[in-house]
């Protein structure tokens, strides 16, 4: 244990710190106003030590893992901790000051006990709208970051408990949904205040020095554990490439490339060879790319490693500026998700070579985000949903059907909530049968969501989805999953296939269908136990035809396995 704390006190104080972030998350969920935060859980909370190093990141979005440190660093560079005072709150969202895309607004509050700085409480929420030319502020067609909404450099939002009215007023005039924005912001402030109260209480019992020592212990322990994990991987260079469908418009596929260099207890991800940044919004800010790197490596390690900045220390990243994954100012980043999630797939591809037992075949390629912006009774209304896909097959586990991406852990929106809040009607939400990447351990099924956009005057439909062309890869002989589909008015004369990335005006009563990709499979499909194939047929997840042709298993229409025929097919 670090700093001479006995293991028991360290454990007790660590539990205390963990419950601080649990509680921060609870406060955000319980009090936020926007469906994105309160229903979908698109937020993250963390505690940092006085040096700004993250010592606990609470449950939330995996792909936020690496973003908070750079944001905190940039706030502290402008407002050093020594100049802060109790009751201060700082805010920022600028992609070019350590942030992500502009809707991800970060709040930081210093926490004090007996006048001494104990650390910082940090929250990040995806706000539904921060302005820009497309409702929802995640435009796919912006040419630079200026068109994507209000950029907030690190600023002081509250000083000694007093809100900065000028700043609030500026924000108010730049968002389409001030009520949602301030409701969510209030939940962030409340979470930070809660953190300070709890930290103060722990300090009152154990002393500031003990808390700081426990924080240090967490950092050191996670670093040590991470180093041991990396050392257990065979030294070597492991590379992988992936291609994005296009440049965000009609351009050619764009290359993502990583070479993982494992040397002893350090791991370097070198992304040299990745495509240059593009003049659309799919560029991934460095903070987001870094998150993809951290979360993939984190997920193949022991679950016990504390979620701290200490774990990052043996990880190095080479990401040349001016590329898709580290765009130069003022590159647009609104649809960063397309690239960020796929970057995770790419790193998994390389990790699969170093640690094949730990990695799954490719997932669906990232959360689909669609927004529908219109007006109801003269007021802006913006529906923003996260549609998720599936996990790939693993050596010992099937993929998971219809579940949040590994990089995220967002929830879906209840249909009854969506329809009572927005002018839409959800007509279908179910699995897409036969979409799985076949395999001994099959990939998960994708999901269909069909939504009728009712607003009589129509509105702006904005889609951000990946893998329309580049399908999720299989692993160890497993097959690819299906690609993603976006269709307007399916099954009618007006049916129209859409690209994965679109911003378009649609008339009233338009139907939008999204089908997420199925995930990749693991191992050859004809090695899959016939009973498992028959069970999937019985459940209507796989068709009789597909069972026969791809898995070489004969199953009757009512799901009964035909053993003799299967033996013949497989001989």
* Residue tagged 């210093």 (tokens): 110
564 counts as binding other proteins under rule CB under 8 A: no
Q: Are strands 446-453 and 496-497 parallel, antiparallel or unpaired?
A: unpaired
180 counts as binding other proteins under rule CB under 8 A: yes
Give the three-state DSSP class for 199: helix
Question: Which one, 154 or 423, has the nearer CB to other proteins?
Answer: 423
115 counts as binding other proteins under rule CB under 8 A: no
Name beta bridge partners: 261: 237, 268
157 counts as binding other proteins under rule CB under 8 A: no
DSSP, res 82: G
221 counts as binding other proteins under rule CB under 8 A: yes
Note whether 267 and 300 are within 8 A (CB).
no
Least Å distance between CB 540 and other proteins? Answer: 6
DSSP, res 120: E
199 counts as binding other proteins under rule CB under 8 A: no
2 counts as binding other proteins under rule CB under 8 A: no
Note whether 338 and 366 are within 8 A (CB).
yes
Looking at 156-164, 269-277, 532-540, 560-568, which segment touches other proteins (CB under 8 A)? 532-540
Least Å distance between CB 5 and other proteins? Answer: 7
Least Å distance between CB 196 and other proteins? Answer: 10
How many Cβ atoms are within 10 Å of 461's Cβ, its own excluded?
25
Within positions 37 to 56, which residues make up the interface with other proteins, using CB under 8 A?
Answer: 38-39, 41
Of positions 56, 315, 324, 388, contacts other proteins by CB under 8 A: 388
Looking at 135-143, 281-289, 295-303, 525-533, which segment touches other proteins (CB under 8 A)? 295-303
- Give Cβ neighbours of residue 359 (< 8 Å, ≥ 6 apart): 300, 348, 351, 352, 394, 475
- d(C-alpha 99, C-alpha 112), whole Å: 25
Task: Give me Rg for the CA atoms of the chain.
Answer: 24
152 counts as binding other proteins under rule CB under 8 A: no
Question: Which one, 232 or 494, has the nearer CB to other proteins?
Answer: 232
Of positions 298, 528, 546, 548, contacts other proteins by CB under 8 A: 298
Of positions 133, 358, 469, 526, contacts other proteins by CB under 8 A: 358
- d(C-alpha 199, C-alpha 212), whole Å: 11
* Residue tagged 């960063």 (tokens): 336
22 counts as binding other proteins under rule CB under 8 A: yes
Least Å distance between CB 31 and other proteins? Answer: 5
Of positions 164, 429, 487, 544, contacts other proteins by CB under 8 A: 429
- d(C-alpha 293, C-alpha 269), whole Å: 8
420 counts as binding other proteins under rule CB under 8 A: yes
């Amino acid at each position: 244990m670090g700093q001479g704390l006995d293991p028991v006190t360290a454990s007790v104080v660590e539990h205390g710190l963990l419950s601080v972030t649990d509680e921060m998350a609870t406060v955000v969920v319980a009090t936020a106003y926007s469906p994105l935060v309160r229903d979908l859980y698109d937020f993250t909370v963390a505690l940092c030590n006085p040096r700004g190093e993250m010592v606990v990141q609470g449950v939330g979005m995996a792909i936020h893992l690496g973003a908070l440190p750079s944001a905190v660093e940039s706030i502290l560079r402008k407002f050093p901790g020594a100049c802060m005072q109790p009751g201060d709150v700082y805010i920022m969202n600028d992609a070019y000051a350590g942030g992500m895309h502009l809707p991800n607004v970060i709040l930081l509050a210093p926490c004090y006990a007996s006048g001494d700085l104990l650390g910082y409480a940090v929250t990040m929420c995806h706000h539904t709208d921060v302005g820009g030319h497309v409702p929802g502020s995640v435009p796919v067609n912006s040419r630079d970051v200026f068109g994507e909404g209000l950029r907030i450099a690190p600023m002081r939002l509250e000083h000694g408990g007093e809100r900065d009215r000028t700043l609030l007023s500026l924000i108010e005039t730049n968002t389409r949904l001030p009520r949602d924005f301030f409701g969510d912001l209030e939940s962030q402030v409340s979470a930070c205040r809660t953190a300070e109260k709890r930290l103060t209480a722990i300090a009152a019992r154990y002393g500031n020095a003990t808390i700081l020592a426990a924080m240090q212990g967490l950092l050191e322990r996670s670093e040590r554990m991470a180093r041991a994990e990396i050392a257990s991987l065979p030294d070597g260079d492991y590379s992988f490439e992936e291609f994005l469908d296009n440049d965000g418009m009609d351009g050619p596929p764009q290359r993502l490339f990583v070479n993982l260099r494992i040397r002893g207890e350090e791991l370097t991800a070198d992304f040299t060879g990745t495509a240059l940044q593009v003049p659309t919004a799919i560029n991934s800010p460095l903070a987001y790319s870094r998150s993809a790197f951290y979360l993939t490596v984190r997920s193949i390690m022991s679950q016990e490693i504390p979620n701290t900045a200490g774990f990052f220390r043996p990880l190095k990243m080479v990401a040349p500026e001016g590329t898709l994954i580290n765009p130069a100012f003022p590159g647009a980043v609104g649809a960063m998700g397309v690239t960020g999630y796929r970057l995770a797939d790419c790193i998994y591809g390389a990790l699969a070579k170093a640690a094949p037992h730990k990695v799954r075949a490719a997932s669906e390629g990232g959360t689909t985000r669609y927004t529908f912006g219109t007006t109801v009774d003269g007021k802006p209304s913006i529906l923003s949903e996260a549609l998720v896909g599936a996990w790939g097959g693993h050596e010992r586990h099937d993929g998971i059907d219809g579940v949040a991406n590994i990089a995220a852990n967002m929830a879906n929106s209840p249909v009854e909530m969506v329809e009572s809040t927005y002018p839409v009607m959800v007509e279908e939400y179910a699995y897409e049968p036969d979409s799985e990447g076949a395999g001994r351990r099959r990939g998960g099924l994708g999901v269909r969501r069909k939504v009728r956009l009712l607003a009589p005057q129509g509105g702006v439909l904005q889609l951000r989805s990946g893998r329309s062309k580049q399908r999720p890869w299989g692993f160890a002989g497993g097959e690819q999953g299906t690609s993603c589909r976006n269709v307007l008015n399916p099954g009618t004369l007006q049916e129209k296939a859409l690209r994965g990335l679109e911003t378009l005006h649609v008339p009233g009563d338009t139907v939008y269908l999204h089908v997420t990709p199925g995930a990749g499979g693991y191992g050859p499909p004809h090695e899959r136990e016939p009973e498992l194939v028959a069970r999937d047929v019985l459940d209507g997840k796989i068709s009789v035809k597909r069972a026969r042709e791809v898995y070489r298993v004969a199953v009757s229409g009512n799901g009964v396995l035909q053993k003799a025929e299967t033996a013949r097919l497989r001989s």
